[in-house]
Chains A and B, each alone.
Chain A
Amino acid sequence: MPVEVHHYDLGVLQLTILGSALLAAALLAALYAAGAAVYGGRTGDRRFVQSSRRAVYSMAALLTGAVVILEVAFLRDDFGFELVADHSSTTTPTFYKLTAMWSSQEGSLLLWAWVLSLASTAVLFISRNRHREIVPWATAVLAGIGSFFIGLMIFKAQPFSHLDPAPAEGAGLTPLLRNPYMAVHPPMLYSGYVFWSIPFAFCVGALIARRLDASWIRTTRNFALCAWTFLGIGLLLGSRWSYEELGWGGYWGWDPVENAALMPWLLGTAFLHSVMVQEKRGMLKVWNVSLICGTFALCLLGTFLVRSGVLQSIHAFGASTVGGPLLALIAVVAIGSTVLIVSRLDGLRPERRIDSVLSRESIFLVNNLLLVGLVLVIFWGTFFPLISEFFTGEKHSLAAPWFNRYVTPIGVLLVLFTGLGPLFAWGRLSGTAAKRLLLWPAVATIATIDVLLAASDAGGRPWALFVFGFAAFALVALAGEFWRAGTTRRALTGESHAVALGKGIARNRRRYGGYVVHAGIAFVLIGIAASSSFQTNRDLRLQVGQSAKVGDYTIRYDKLTSDPTAERLAFVSHLTVTRDGKRVTNLTPARNYYPSDDPSAGPIGRYFMGESTSEVGLRTRTGGDLWTAFQPDLSVLNPDIVRGNRQLAGLPPAAQEFAILALVQHYVQNPPPANFRVILNPLVVWIWIPGGLLVLAGAAMAGWPALESRRQLEAAYRARLGRELGTASEPS
């Protein structure tokens, strides 16, 4: 295709230079912020701390400008921007033009740095009049991380490189990424990773300044919750995408990159629970600082794994230039935090000791151990190829069966603990109270297990049986807690049941929001257990008109149609699904073939040799999914394609398209047998609905800022305490 000089060239060149200048200025601002913050922290000169805060605000503004320039370039199809030329095209839909920015290395680094700068701005603004000792150091850490990522962009992965002359058309977005889930998944994950840097920075600041009480935790609690939520959304979206869009039918493969997002989420979960113990009982301080440093290090590790080519994975690409520096940063963070924590151990002594096993503190401690154990197992399995290479010289890898074997027992125990934690109180739970509280949940567990043993073949799947039993335990325990919320408040205030329940929950959103999240997790695990242990999975080879039986269903392959558009050729299979003779549904799994730009494939062949994606035929019901995928056999077309390549080579595109349409029509009228994969997935939708939904709703509820009503309660307490003190203090 002849290359034209784009007549916007001059303007585009100016914009790329401006973008690079903004990046350079942002780097200077970040470096200055780090330096001024350290100086202000050491000397106590507030002016330098204020100046460093302004430098962080400026960094955010400059990076916003850079992002705007890049996104506008995508929208305007400025192919003089190399990034736009490589990842977008004139035919890309507008939504995907905007999201294409982060499908590239350079753009994703820009996203990382930009979100980091925005989050840093927010936290520094909120805490501008507080935590005077901690904030300078936290600023320095955040600015330091920011300068690292901006530096990576400037020196290793420049987003604003210029193409001269600019091509007339771009390469376009990979078809697999032209999907709403995949468009939104990276910003969710990166936000999750980035937000963990806020509590990390404040933890480092607290350690350096020796302000080791819970103030750094309180300030950054909402950021930690946001980080956890966004990572969770990223995991939910990624797994849903894999299930709905790939011709594989699974939602989790223990791929290194999946694990890279799961590990910080798990460790972050431990952190969110463990800090409660420090806030309420002054314990587990060393755990908390270690957990947040570990979580953040894992976030950087996740960012690194996708880009380094160190591990064989669906996503791990050839060695890229940013892998080395990222690994260096991870080492600095890991070693630096360890040294810092060890040097402050004397300040991290617990204020109390755990004096009873029957207490929430001890439950949370065991919870920490389970989650850390789980992360270590996943870490070991993920990095095993490197570990084995180090010790034996050969790369050995572990696959899903190994992960499932070791993760399942820990996961089953965790389901039990999502019910135990809410039941126990801070401090010692009396024995009689424990028996009373555990009674109904235990009954539910035993009843569930009995019913399942009698009514299904769950006996052969003990792990799933335990998951269902423990999930019943958790759900009944949580329901009991909600019930008690109403009755205890009623006992204190005399309100009606409904009002007492509503107010009791509203007054303690953090706790009951957390319980909602626990309920969601129970549903997620029910969905996982049911869909993995009770799955029916068949590969079929069907001729048109033929049917096959899968489980209770009969699948008949009715016909094949095609849907050729300018963007891709689609072959659509039409299936009728019946059960006991009655029609259940019609499904149309399809296969899309995107044309390739490779000239060696030939003018006809290139339409069949390019990217191929699956359209899954899915029927979702609460009780289970019917999942189908279709793989046509196009090999019979090969002789025609070869002949067409030869004979139609010189003809105009219109004639070639006509030939392709004729070829497709001919195939559709007399297709060879095709391969189908049919999966029956019981309860799988529970992972996302209600599971994922409750997790997100609960997190939102827990993080919702407090309202006016708290002040009234405070005034009442203040008065009571004041009376007992003998001094009446005015409410603030």
Chain B
Amino acid sequence: MDPSRKRKIRLVVALSAAVLLAAGLVYTSFSASTEAKQPSQLLQADPGGTYELTGKVVPGSITHAGDKLDFQISDRDGSHPIPVTYSGTVPDPFRDGREVIVTGKLQDGTFVGERDSLVTKCPSKFTTTTSGSSS
């Protein structure tokens, strides 16, 4: 087999492998992903589904009861508060008013967070708005 035909064959094989892998990637990513929702969207979503809930911790709503953490989460503007119950690692920056992401399901009006799925965003470093508020 002359070299250029060998090369063409190698190219076809490589491309086919790439296409197959890419297809596999795309297909599985849709099934493996969780949909991200804000509290206002959660109320209209399919009940019983697992979602990644993003929002702000409602000030004054945090209570620790033993192993469990309960708080309320709202949209960025403070509307549509939803109660959340969660157990697992609580990230260091977690407190009132922080933006958080928690994955779980809505059960009987309360969002039950999966273990260790709570993520708290670092306090805002990169807004170019001004003066002096530290939180």
Contact = CB atoms under 8 A, between A and B. Distances in A.
Contact of A402 (B29, B36, B89, B95): B29
A613 B134 contact: no
A263 to B, nearest CB: 16
Contacts of B88: 539
A301 interface: no
B66 A86 contact: no
Contact of A597 (B14, B64, B65, B134): B134
B21 A315 contact: no
A596 interface: yes
A317 B128 contact: no
B132 interface: yes
B33 A320 contact: no
Contacts of A170: 132
Contact of A317 (B29, B66, B125): B125
Contacts of A673: 66
Given A353-B7, A384-B29, A541-B67, A396 B122 contact: no
Interface in A80-95: 82, 85-86
Contacts of A50: none
Given A397-B36, A398-B29, A612-B92, A163 B131 contact: yes
A385 B52 CA distance: 11
B134 A82 contact: no
Contact of B119 (A103, A314, A406): A314
Interface footprint category on B: 35 or more
Nearest to A596: B135
B101 interface: yes
B30 interface: yes
Nearest to B7: A353
B25 A172 contact: no
A105 B29 contact: no
Nearest to B128: A157
B127 A631 contact: no
B25 A247 contact: no
Contact of A380 (B29, B37, B126, B131): B29
Contacts of A247: 89-92
Given A248-B91, A396-B36, A541 B128 contact: no
Contacts of B133: 171, 597
A531 B22 CA distance: 29
Contacts of A106: 128
Interface string A351-394: 00101000000000000010001001100110011001000001
B79 interface: no
Interface string B100-135: 010100000000000000011111111110111111
Nearest to A614: B92
A598 interface: yes
Given A312-B101, A317-B127, A398 B92 contact: no
A631 to B, nearest CB: 6
Contacts of B32: 398, 401-402
Contacts of A538: none
Contacts of B103: 399
B34 interface: yes
Nearest to A354: B7
B16 interface: no
A609 interface: yes
B92 A635 contact: no
Interface of B: 3, 7, 14, 18, 21-22, 25-26, 28-30, 32-37, 52, 54, 59, 63-67, 88-96, 101, 103, 119-128, 130-135
Interface of A: 82, 85-86, 103-106, 156-157, 161, 163, 167, 170-172, 174, 176, 246-248, 306-307, 312-318, 320-322, 353, 355, 369, 373, 376-377, 380-381, 384-385, 388, 394-399, 401-402, 406, 539, 541, 596-598, 600, 609-614, 631, 633-635, 673, 675, 677
Nearest first, the 7 A-B pairs at minimum CB distance are A396-B33, A395-B36, A635-B64, A105-B126, A171-B134, A402-B32, A317-B124
8 contacts: A167-B132, A306-B126, A318-B124, A395-B35, A401-B32, A597-B135, A609-B95, A611-B92
Given A380-B25, A385-B36, A398-B29, 11 more contacts: A85-B132, A86-B131, A104-B126, A105-B125, A171-B133, A248-B91, A380-B26, A384-B33, A399-B103, A539-B89, A611-B93
